[in-house]
Amino acid sequence: MANAADKKIGFIYIGPPGDHGWTYMHDVGRKYMEDQLGDSISTTFIENVPENADAVRSIRKLAETGHDLIFTTSFNYMDQTLEVAKEFPDIKFEHATGYQRLDNVSTYSARFYEGRSVIGHIAGKMTETNTIGYIVSFPIPEVIRGINAFYLAASKVNPDVKIKIIWVYSWYDPGKEADAANTLINQGADIIVQHTDSYAPCQAAEKAGVLAFGQASNQEAFCPNAHMTAIEDIWGPYYAAKAKLS
């Protein structure tokens, strides 16, 4: 049971923990942290927080309810995190994948581009139509960096490779993601790569009999034949280390 002396750690999620992608892996990280630190911490999360002014309210709510450390787990929470952090200088904030910091705001990310490079290599070797479909969310540094790393590695092993890109302007919209995957497959893509959070594209690939990569977590359960491999985001050890320090 939590008591007043415990450290309280809060999380802001962009999607539901049940997305089996990005948010799911942050939630797995949060649970890992709880297991590692046991009763000395208690955690709270707010899910489905939109990346607009509403995020300020959610972050402020965590700050006002006595949280010592707050993780905001999406790129577009950057300005909102800084805004709340200025009001609460004694609380520590950790913002995922951004580039602006303050004394009490730090940035954490992963070298996703290394994973993108590996799957780019695989895709370059595996494609038969030399066309790869890539579903992307927003034009932010992390996403663009991912496309470039993927393309560089793919074109190195297969100079004829072409990448078709569809921007869906959403992190999580299974319907739109499935539509994008089907459009790309209809236009000759035989490998589907995604930088959105649901497993709908992988499932669409499974249905069409083409190949795909999982996103953020192992999604083999949803597309056993299409799924080649996935970049898995393992946040747990970082979360646990930060919780110990705070």
Partner 1 sequence: MLGKKFSGTPINGLSPYYFIIGSFLLVILVHHILYKTRIGLIVRSVGENHHSAFALGYDVIKTRYLTIMFGGVMSSLAGFYISICYAPMWQEGMTAGRGWIALALVVFATWKPYRLLVGAYIFGGVAIMQMNLQAFGVKLPGQIFTMMPYIATLVVLVFISSNKLRLKLSAPSSLNIPFEKNQ
- Chain residues binding partner 1 by CB under 8 A are 15-16, 18-20, 48, 133, 139, 164-170, 172-180, 183-184, 187, 198-200, 203-204, 207, 221-222
Please identify, using beta-carbon distances, which residue of 83 and 179 lies nearer to partner 1. 179
CB nearer to partner 1: give 50 or 89: 50
Which of 84/163 has CB closer to partner 1?
A: 163
Distance CA 160, CA 133 (A): 14
Helix (H) or strand (E) holding 132: strand 131-136
Residue 12's DSSP bridge partners are: 46, 72
Q: How far apart are CA 68 and CA 91, in angstroms?
A: 5
Nearer to partner 1, 33 or 223 (CB): 223
Minimum CB separation of residue 6 from partner 1 in Å reads: 26
- Give least dist CB 210 to partner 1, A: 14
Burial (Cβ within 10 Å: 0-12, 13-18, ≥19) of residue 83: middle
Task: State how far the alpha carbon of 25 is from the alpha carbons of 14, 20, 33, 92, 218, in Å.
Answer: 12, 7, 12, 22, 10
Q: Could you tell me how far CA 78 lies from the centroid of its own chain? A: 15
Q: Specify the residue, 99 or 169, whose C-beta has the smaller distance to partner 1.
A: 169
Contact between 229 and 119 (Cβ < 8 Å):
yes
Closest contact distance (angstroms) between CB of 68 and partner 1 is: 29
Q: Minimum Å distance from CB 126 to partner 1? A: 20
Minimum distance, C-beta of residue 49 to partner 1, in the bound complex (Å): 12
